[in-house]
Amino acid sequence: MLTSFIQIKYTEGKYALREIYLNTEHIVAMTSHILDSPVLNERNMPHNLDDRISFTKVFVNIGSESLEVIVIGTPDVIERRLFSSKKRLLRG
């Protein structure tokens, strides 16, 4: 199942936002992430981005490798989005 997120990516000397769809069945790990680039400053950030925002690095399995994607939101928020549309069967 695909779920949309907002990705932040550093290209051409600045950070840019874009919508990305991730297959929830292929997400293998998540961790909170701090943008620690030496060129990180207000000039390089998107204009509409609040400085209190949190980021999560999501690891996606793509066969024998994994892809790292940085998305907007805390790991808790990302987890809720991943599982909010899935029905869970409780086994007793």
Separation of alpha carbons 83 and 3, rounded Å? 10
Residue 11: its H or E element: strand 2-11
Higher pLDDT, 75 or 42: 75
- Cβ burial of 78 (10 Å; 0-12, 13-18, 19+) is buried
Average pLDDT, the chain: 82
First-to-last C-alpha distance (Å) of the chain:
26
Express each pLDDT in 18-28 by its tens digit. Answer: 999 999 999 99
pLDDT value for 43: 60
Burial grade of 72 (CB within 10 A; 0-12, 13-18, 19 or more): middle
Q: What is the mean pLDDT of the segment spanning 15-43?
A: 81
Name, in order, each residue with C-beta under 8 angstroms of 52's C-beta and a sequence gap of 6 or more.
Answer: none
Domain ranges of the chain: 2-84
pLDDT tens string 42-57: 566 666 667 678 899 9
Region 72-87: what's the mean pLDDT? 84
Q: Is the pLDDT of residue 39 over 90?
A: no
